[in-house]
Structure formats: structure tokens, C-alpha cells
């Protein structure tokens, strides 16, 4: 392993200063970074360990009704927070469908947002990858790319963002609080992740030294609690990334959809908010036809990047199902197989 400096700052300000140096990266739980380092994919000079910083592990309701989640809250603690799961059930379900129980116990909110793609060519240092090494080429483009992006990809990169958590978050207009060299700022989660374009090496809008300190769900996000689901098709029941996933949240008033939120996972380099689909659902009854129409709208711009045309059709079907499940109402308990198509199958046994 490449030798590196390890620093453990006492404050956020110290952390930002330490991480602003070239070659520095933040370390929280390390569930992704350490694997990347062991594989030689990431070779940082300096790890700035933020896992012990004070004040970043709280879940708090703000005066305006927003929820503020500290960046160091673990995925498991957040998902199992009963109040949180009641208010944002699709987010809790997404969290519980991600990774494995052990990983969720360690992995943090901030780290989940910033996890790297699972593209095999990104991980394989013998292959060319523009994201790993700018300008080296993309071996995925004509390679084994059945699981790659169908939206927002470019000729330089067809990787997807693997997070489950981010999908309902982006649907609910989550905001990311960032501490940087010039103080605190915030951006919409939807603006955090970058599409590849010609600069796939850039995953996010973060600048050197920027530290995500919290994720905030605005007051309106609570309005969907009774009609919100996350659905994830995957190749095994646990410890597998989504082939395609969707978060659907509806505010239903007088039998009509007052407001819809829809986002897709596993389809692009970022959690994919489907605003056009949301628009067609506004003010209509929650019917199968409306959901079909929304599904078509959501995937209008989709095109295969390789052997993955099926993902477009699968995504449409997942959109329809997720909306159908959301319309049927959030279940009283998170299913034993969270986000699984088999979640409601009787006799399903908890992982």
C-alpha cells in the first residue's frame, strides 16, 4: 500500500484546511475508500480522518420543519431511527436495501453521497478509465457494459452512481451543507453529482477541502410520508447494487395527485430526478395509465450505452411499479425485504 499521512483534525475548520492540500482525501468509515486504496484505484497522499469530529452525528428537526442529518450519522442509525422512518419511509427503505448490515453499521451519510461508481473498469487498474485517470479512455464503452448508464452518459464515461440512499433524497429535494475554505454553503443534492460530459474524473461539485457536514430535508419532504416507496431490482437479495431502482413519492389530495416526486437509481452518473414525469402526474388521478405515461416521460431521453437496452424497459416498469406501490400507501412497517419486488410476498423471510 502506498504510504500516506494520516491526520485527525479536532475541528471542521482544521479538517478543511488539512484536506485542501493536493492529494488529500477525507476518511469517514472508509467502507468504499479503503477498498479503493487496497486495489490501487485511489492512491491518496493524506487521509484526513473526520470520523471523530464532534457535532456531525446528530439527527435534528429544525424550527422550520426541516430535518438535518449530520454527515457522520451511520446508515444503520438513520434507517432505524423510528421518527425518521415514519417521516421519510422511502429513504429508510432505500438505506436498508443498500450494502449489507455490517456495511450499513459503519457507512456514513456523507460517505454514502460520495461513494464512487462500481463500474468494473474503474476498479480494474489494468483497464482504461477516464474517471480514474483523466483522458486515459473508457474501456467500458465497448466492453462488458450491461449494467451501465442509460441516461446522461457521454462517450467518455458510462458509469453509474451506485447509491440507493441518494435516490429518494434527490426526489425529496434534499440539500447538502458544505463547509469549505470560504465558509459554509449549501447546494441541492441534485446539483452535487456531475454528469460525465468531457470531465468524468469529476464526480461532484465539491472543491478541494469541501466537507459535507449535513444533509437537509426541507419541510415539504414530510408531505409524502403516507405515499412513498423505494423499489430496487437487483441480482441478489442483499449486498448487490441496483440494476435499476426508483423512489416514488406522492401527495394525494381528494383522489388526485397534488404533487409527485420520482427519481431513478442505477441509470446515470447521478441519482436521476425525473421532473418531466412528475409534471405529468400533477393534478391527475393515480391510475395505471397515468403511471405508464410518467414512465415514458421519465425515460424519454434514455439510450443504451451498450448491452443495456433492457435497463430502459426495466426502468419504465420499475417506475410504474414504484408509483403503484406509493399510491397504494406506505406500509405500516418497512418490509422484511426492503425495496425488494418480493417485499410484500407472504412468508418473505428477513435477511
Partner 1 sequence: MPELNLTSAPAHLRHGSNIGQPLTRRDGVLKVKGQATYAADNHPPGMLFAVMAVSGISRGRVSSLDVAAAKRHPGVVDVMTPDHKPPLAVDPEIKTNPFVFRMEVLQSNEVRYANQPIAVVIAETLEAATEGAALLAPRYETLPALVGLDAGESFVPPVVGVGNPTEVHRGDVEAGLASAEKQIDATYETPPQYHNAMEPHAIVASWDGDRLQIDMPTQGLMLSLARIAELFGIAHDKIHIRSPFLGGGFGSKGLMAGPPTLGIMAAKLVGRPVKLVLRREQMYGPVGHRAPTRQRLRIGADGEGRLTALDHHARTVSSTFDDFYEPAADASHTLYAAPAIRTSHDAVRVNTGTPLFMRAPGEATGSIALESAIDEMAWACGIDPLAFRLKNYAEVEPISGKPFSSKALRACYEQGAARFGWAKRSLPPRQMRDDAGQLVGWGMGTATFPALMFQAEARAAIRRDGSGVMEIGAHDMGQGAWTALAQIAADAVGLDVDRVEFRAGTSDLPDAGIAGGSAHTATAGAAIHSAGAAVIAKLADLATNDERSPLFGAGNAGVTARDGRLIRRDDESRSESYAEILARAGVAEVEARGTGAPNPAAMEEYAMHAHGAVFAEVKVDPELGQVRVTRMVGAFAAGRIVNPHLVKSQLFGGMIWGLSFALHEEAITDRRSGRIMNANLGEYHIPVNADVPPLDVITVEEHDPHVNALGIKGVGEIGITGSAGAVANAVWHATGVRVRRFPIRIEELLTQS
Q: Which positions touch partner 1 (CB under 8 A)?
A: 1-3, 39-40, 100, 118, 120-121, 123-127, 139, 142-144, 146, 233-240, 243, 310, 313-314, 317-318, 320-321, 337, 340-342, 344-347, 349-351
Q: How far is the CB of 210 from partner 1 (least distance, A)?
A: 28
- Would you state the cell numbers that stand for residue 66, as one nine-digit string? 426541516
**In this complex, which beta carbon is closest to partner 1, that of residue 144 or of residue 253?**
144
- Would you state the cell numbers that stand for residue 257, as one nine-digit string? 395527485
Closest CA to 128 of 116, 141, 115: 141
Q: Which residues are within 8 A (CB) of 68 and not within 5 positions of it... i.e. 6 or more apart?
A: 58, 59, 60, 61, 62, 177, 214, 215, 216
Q: How far is the CB of 106 from partner 1 (least distance, A)?
A: 15
Q: How far is the CB of 219 from partner 1 (least distance, A)?
A: 34
**In this complex, which beta carbon is closest to partner 1, that of residue 40 or of residue 55?**
40
**In this complex, which beta carbon is closest to partner 1, that of residue 192 or of residue 339?**
339
Q: How far is the CB of 132 from partner 1 (least distance, A)?
A: 14
Q: How far is the CB of 233 from partner 1 (least distance, A)?
A: 5
Q: What order of strands is seen across the sheet that includes strand 228-233? A: 228-233, 244-253, 256-265, 272-273
Looking at residue 112, the DSSP 8-state letter turns out to be H
**In this complex, which beta carbon is closest to partner 1, that of residue 191 or of residue 310?**
310
**In this complex, which beta carbon is closest to partner 1, that of residue 125 or of residue 182?**
125
DSSP reduced 3-state for 244: strand
Q: In three state form, how does the secondary structure of 6-33 look?
A: EECCCCHHHHHHHHCCCCEEEECCCCCH
Amino acid at each position: 500500500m502506498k504510504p500516506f499521512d494520516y491526520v485527525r483534525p479536532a475541528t471542521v475548520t482544521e479538517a478543511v484546511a488539512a484536506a485542501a492540500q493536493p492529494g488529500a482525501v477525507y476518511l469517514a468509515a472508509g467502507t468504499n475508500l479503503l477498498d479503493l486504496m487496497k486495489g490501487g484505484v485511489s492512491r491518496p497522499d493524506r487521509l484526513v480522518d473526520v470520523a471523530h469530529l464532534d457535532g456531525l452525528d446528530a439527527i435534528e428537526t429544525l424550527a422550520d420543519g426541516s430535518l438535518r442529518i449530520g454527515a457522520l450519522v451511520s446508515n444503520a442509525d438513520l434507517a432505524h431511527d423510528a421518527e425518521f422512518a415514519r417521516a421519510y419511509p422511502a429513504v429508510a427503505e432505500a438505506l436498508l436495501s443498500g450494502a449489507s448490515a455490517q456495511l450499513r453499521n459503519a457507512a456514513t451519510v456523507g460517505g454514502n453521497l460520495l461513494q464512487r461508481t462500481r463500474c468494473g473498469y474503474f476498479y480494474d487498474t489494468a483497464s482504461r478509465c477516464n474517471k480514474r485517470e483523466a483522458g486515459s479512455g473508457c474501456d467500458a464503452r465497448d466492453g462488458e457494459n450491461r449494467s451501465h448508464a442509460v441516461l446522461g452518459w457521454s462517450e467518455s464515461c458510462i458509469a453509474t452512481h451506485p447509491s440507493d440512499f441518494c435516490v429518494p433524497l434527490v426526489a425529496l429535494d434534499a440539500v447538502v451543507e458544505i463547509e469549505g475554505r470560504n465558509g459554509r454553503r449549501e447546494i441541492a443534492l441534485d446539483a452535487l453529482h456531475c454528469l460525465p460530459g468531457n470531465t468524468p474524473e469529476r464526480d461532484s461539485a465539491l472543491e478541494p477541502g469541501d466537507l459535507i457536514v449535513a444533509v437537509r430535508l426541507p419541510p415539504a419532504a414530510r408531505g409524502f410520508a403516507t405515499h412513498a416507496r423505494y423499489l430496487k431490482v437487483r441480482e441478489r437479495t442483499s449486498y448487490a447494487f441496483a440494476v435499476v431502482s426508483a423512489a416514488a413519492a406522492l401527495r394525494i389530495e381528494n383522489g388526485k395527485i397534488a404533487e409527485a416526486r420520482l427519481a431513478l437509481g442505477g441509470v446515470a452518473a447521478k441519482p436521476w430526478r425525473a421532473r418531466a414525469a412528475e409534471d405529468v402526474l400533477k393534478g391527475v388521478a393515480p391510475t395505471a395509465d397515468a403511471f405508464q405515461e410518467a414512465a415514458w416521460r421519465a425515460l424519454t431521453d434514455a439510450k443504451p450505452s451498450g448491452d443495456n437496452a433492457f435497463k430502459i424497459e426495466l426502468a419504465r416498469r420499475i417506475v410504474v411499479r414504484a408509483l403503484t406501490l406509493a399510491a397504494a400507501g406506505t406500509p405500516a412497517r418497512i418490509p422484511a425485504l426492503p425495496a425488494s419486488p418480493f417485499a410484500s410476498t407472504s412468508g418473505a423471510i428477513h435477511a
